[in-house]
């Protein structure tokens, strides 16, 4: 491997930053990937998206804006107050680092050029530093890089550390660039690369395989112990539309109001992953125990929905009631008792060394029923009927709603397990509710009794790899903070009821650590917080980049189990607008 200079990455960053056109970005990346193949390390591909680990790896830099300010001050001998003043005006610590680096010309003083291996190595060291003196050690490693860096390099080092690269390289663009870089029949290969990535969630692994050809890409298979992207359903409006999409007869199952969990067992180790690829094994020891006792097999990957229930009444609870368990790192035993859960297993995609993804759903279900022993309020196979009767399907649907489920899932019996949304494989039907999952991209500070809180949120949908604003929503969250709630009564009952929901105070804390820019009362945030938003109708609007606005929007729940990949697409919104137009 011949060494690369970090300036070669910076040159690519600048080209990517200079265009918003997808095909241009793809061409820029494809050319660079050919260069990276010849003189780089496959893992360096992570840097194109501002990372140093694959997507399934949860480790983070843990670098705040304040720590970067401290580091820039240390590297260039400047007072922190001066940097903070500039930051309020410019809003980009990367540009500030670039300016001071250019003035100091530290690279010449150190007598060397910054290599990619040096940048990559220091960044990985920063991630792993913990314990006493961690801040000082991180500052030292960053300052070393900034000291050697030329001006443009300093900008992108800082942006990488703050997870704010700003070059617009989403998953889809990088997948397409890999196809363009290494294959002449790139249109056909794009789907193969997409499949490989959905399985391993590691661009370095896909890059390494793509360099060697189609056969190597086809060898990438699911492995117990690693997270993977899940198969998703599309919404339908009635039973007839569901059968039209999935065929007759079809499997019909309850749609649970919980969160998706992929259960993975390899030898004796069981791991739990959310659809965001987060490892939540430690947060749910009760699920691990239920799987150990009630699922036969040396190795497997199960698709499931984890649902909360009231330990007193045994009634199922809305997702909001147990959502806090997903992120909680402490008081696990206490929460396990106060917010118990039941596992509903509805698919098996790997069993005892065999990949079952290409097997028909009817065969996967038979295996599932054979290996899962139902244990009341612990774990069970998802309740299912197989029918071609719309009347029986509607009866099953009404039963599901009566016991508090969200609705039903309708599945094609002959379909393989294919990640992403595939019409004809699986659809969902629930009572008509005008709602979308959207991501918060901006917010505004409130006034009066809401002063100090971010209380008005700009939400966005996705259009391929772009995020497009579709309105502002300021209602639906609770006024009271957790401290206020505790003083008003017992600690847990309000959470079990699932009625209190997320407060403005809690949402503000979530968003503050994601702020990218701040101007007066308005902030722009990294697109990580997904919320479900109901609305009365959708109207055309030049005020938002999607071209649409939601009328009378209201946040109904915070979705920590979902990512930007899961939010509504512009095509879904346009389809909904079309439906409403026809109904009128």
**Helix (H) / strand (E) containing 457:** strand 454-463
The verdict on 284 and 359 lying in the same domain is: yes
Residue 520's beta-bridge partner residues?
none
499 a catalytic residue: no
Q: 549, 471 in Cβ contact below 8 A?
A: yes
Tokens (6 digits) for 62: 């843990």
Burial label for 557, CB within 10 Å (0-12, 13-18, 19+), is buried
The verdict on 443 and 382 lying in the same domain is: no
Task: Identify whether 507 is part of a domain.
Answer: yes
Task: State the sign of the Cα–Cα–Cα–Cα dihedral 53, 54, 58, 62.
Answer: positive
From the list 70, 118, 255, 430, the catalytic residue is 255
From 23-27, 325-329, 356-360, 564-568, the region with the lowest mean pLDDT = 325-329
Q: Which residue has the higher pLDDT, 40 or 382?
A: 382
| The predicted structure's pLDDT at residue 2 | 66
Task: Identify whether 186 is part of a domain.
Answer: no
The verdict on 381 and 480 lying in the same domain is: no
Q: Which residue has the higher pLDDT, 7 or 91?
A: 7
| The predicted structure's pLDDT at residue 188 | 81
Task: Identify whether 548 is part of a domain.
Answer: yes
Query: Is residue 438 classed as helix, strand or coil in its secondary structure?
Result: strand
The verdict on 250 and 391 lying in the same domain is: yes
Mean pLDDT of 136-146: 92
Task: Identify whether 381 is part of a domain.
Answer: yes
The verdict on 268 and 304 lying in the same domain is: yes
Q: How many independent structural domains does the chain possess?
A: 2
Task: Identify whether 260 is part of a domain.
Answer: yes
The verdict on 248 and 377 lying in the same domain is: yes
| The predicted structure's pLDDT at residue 105 | 54
The verdict on 396 and 441 lying in the same domain is: no
| The predicted structure's pLDDT at residue 485 | 41
Does the reported pTM lie above 0.95? no
Tens digit of each residue's pLDDT (9 = 90 or more) over 501-541: 788 999 999 999 888 888 888 999 999 999 999 998 899 99
Domain boundary (429, 446, 470) is at 429
Task: Identify whether 558 is part of a domain.
Answer: yes
| The predicted structure's pLDDT at residue 403 | 86
Rounded Cα distance between 202 and 156, Å, is 22
Task: State the sign of the Cα–Cα–Cα–Cα dihedral 361, 364, 370, 371.
Answer: negative
Rounded Cα distance between 527 and 510, Å, is 12
Tens digit of each residue's pLDDT (9 = 90 or more) over 292-329: 999 999 999 999 999 999 999 998 888 878 888 887 88
Predicted confidence (pLDDT) at residue 163 exceeds the cutoff of 90: no
Q: 568, 436 in Cβ contact below 8 A?
A: yes
Task: Identify whether 568 is part of a domain.
Answer: yes
At 66, is the pLDDT very low, low, confident or very high (cuts 50, 70, 90)? confident
At 34, is the pLDDT very low, low, confident or very high (cuts 50, 70, 90)? very high
At 11, is the pLDDT very low, low, confident or very high (cuts 50, 70, 90)? very high
CATH number of the domain encompassing residue 484: 2.40.50.140
The verdict on 254 and 389 lying in the same domain is: yes
Predicted confidence (pLDDT) at residue 499 exceeds the cutoff of 60: no
The verdict on 447 and 414 lying in the same domain is: no
The verdict on 505 and 368 lying in the same domain is: no
| Domain residue limits at 413 | 241-429
Predicted confidence (pLDDT) at residue 369 exceeds the cutoff of 90: yes
| The predicted structure's pLDDT at residue 185 | 81
| The predicted structure's pLDDT at residue 536 | 85
Rounded Cα distance between 427 and 213, Å, is 35
From 9-23, 97-111, 205-219, 416-430, the region with the lowest mean pLDDT = 97-111
| The predicted structure's pLDDT at residue 214 | 93
Tokens (6 digits) for 241: 């539309």
Q: 473, 553 in Cβ contact below 8 A?
A: yes
Task: Identify whether 85 is part of a domain.
Answer: no
The verdict on 329 and 399 lying in the same domain is: yes
HSE-CB of 14 using CA atoms within 13 angstroms: 12
Tens digit of each residue's pLDDT (9 = 90 or more) over 41-63: 999 999 999 999 998 888 888 88
**Which residues lie below 8 Å from residue 62, measured CB to CB, with a gap of 6+?**
126, 127, 138
Domain boundary (370, 395, 429) is at 429
* φ/ψ bin of 423: left (φ > 0), alpha (ψ from -120 to 50), beta (otherwise): beta
**Helix (H) / strand (E) containing 576:** helix 570-583
Rounded Cα distance between 152 and 7, Å, is 8
Mean pLDDT of 407-421: 93
The verdict on 476 and 558 lying in the same domain is: yes
Q: 138, 67 in Cβ contact below 8 A?
A: yes
Tokens (6 digits) for 139: 């500052």
From 87-91, 133-137, 284-288, 577-581, the region with the lowest mean pLDDT = 577-581
CATH number of the domain encompassing residue 302: 3.30.470.30
Give φ, ψ of 527 to 5 degrees: -80, 85
Domain boundary (398, 429, 460) is at 429
**What mean pLDDT is reported for the chain?**
89
Predicted confidence (pLDDT) at residue 108 exceeds the cutoff of 60: no
SS3 helix, strand, coil % of the chain, rounded to 5?
45, 25, 35
Q: Are strands 234-235 and 426-429 parallel, antiparallel or unpaired?
A: parallel
**Helix (H) / strand (E) containing 82:** helix 80-90
Predicted confidence (pLDDT) at residue 462 exceeds the cutoff of 80: yes
| The predicted structure's pLDDT at residue 500 | 53
């Amino acid at each position: 491997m011949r060494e690369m200079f970090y300036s070669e990455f910076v040159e690519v960053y600048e080209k990517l930053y200079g265009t918003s056109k997808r095909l241009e970005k793809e061409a820029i990346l494809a050319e660079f990937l050919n260069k990276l193949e010849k003189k780089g390390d496959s893992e360096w591909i992570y840097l194109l998206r501002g990372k140093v680990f694959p997507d399934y790896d949860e480790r983070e830099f843990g670098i705040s804006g304040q720590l970067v300010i401290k580091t820039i001050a240390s590297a260039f001998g400047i007072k922190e107050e001066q940097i903070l003043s500039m930051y309020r005006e410019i809003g980009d610590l990367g540009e500030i680092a670039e300016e001071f680096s250019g003035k100091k010309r530290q690279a010449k003083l150190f007598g060397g050029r910054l290599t990619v291996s040096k940048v990559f190595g220091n960044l990985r060291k920063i991630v792993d530093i913990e314990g006493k003196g961690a801040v000082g050690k991180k500052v030292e490693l960053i300052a070393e890089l900034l000291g050697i860096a030329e001006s443009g390099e300093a900008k992108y080092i800082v942006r990488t550390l703050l997870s704010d690269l700003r070059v617009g390289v989403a998953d889809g663009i990088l997948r397409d660039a890999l196809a363009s870089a290494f294959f002449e029949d790139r249109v056909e290969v794009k789907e193969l690369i997409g499949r490989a990535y959905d399985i391993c969630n590691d661009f370095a692994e896909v890059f390494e395989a793509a360099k060697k050809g189609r056969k190597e890409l086809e060898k990438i298979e699911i492995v117990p112990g690693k997270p993977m992207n899940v198969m998703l359903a599309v919404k339908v409006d009635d039973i007839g539309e569901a059968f039209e999409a999935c065929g007759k007869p079809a499997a019909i199952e309850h749609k649970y109001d919980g969160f998706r969990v992929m259960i993975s067992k390899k030898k004796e180790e069981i791991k739990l992953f959310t659809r965001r690829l987060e490892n939540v094994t430690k947060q749910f020891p009760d699920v691990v125990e239920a799987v150990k006792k009630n699922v036969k097999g040396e190795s497997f990957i199960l698709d499931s929905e984890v649902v909360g229930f009231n330990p007193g009444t045994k009634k199922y609870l809305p997702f909001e009631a147990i959502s806090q368990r997903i992120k909680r790192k402490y008081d696990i035993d206490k929460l396990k008792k106060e917010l118990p859960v039941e596992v509903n297993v509805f698919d098996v995609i790997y069993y005892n060394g065999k990949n079952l993804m290409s097997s028909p759903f009817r065969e996967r279900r038979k295996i599932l029923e054979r290996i899962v022993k139902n244990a009341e309020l612990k774990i069970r196979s998802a309740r299912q009927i197989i029918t071609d009767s719309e009347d029986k399907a509607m009866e099953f649907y009404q039963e599901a709603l009566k016991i508090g489920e969200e609705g039903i899932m309708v599945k094609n019996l002959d379909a393989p397990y294919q990640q992403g949304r595939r019409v004809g494989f699986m659809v969902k039907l629930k009572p008509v509710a005008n709602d979308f999952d959207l991501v918060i991209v901006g917010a505004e500070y409130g006034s009066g009794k809401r002063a100090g809180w971010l209380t008005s949120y700009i939400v966005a949908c996705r259009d391929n790899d772009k995020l497009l604003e579709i309105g502002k929503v300021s209602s639906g969250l609770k006024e009271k903070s957790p401290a206020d709630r505790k003083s008003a009564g017992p600690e847990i009952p309000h959470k079990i009821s699932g009625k209190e929901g997320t407060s403005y105070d809690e949402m503000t804390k979530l968003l503050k650590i994601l702020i990218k820019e701040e101007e007066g009362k308005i902030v722009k945030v990294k697109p990580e917080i997904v919320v479900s938003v109901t609305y009365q109708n959708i109207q055309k609007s030049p005020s938002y980049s999607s071209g649409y606005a939601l009328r009378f929007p209201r946040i109904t729940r915070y979705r920590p189990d979902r990512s930007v990949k899961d939010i509504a697409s512009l095509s879904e919104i346009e389809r909904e607008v079309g439906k409403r137009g026809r109904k009128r």
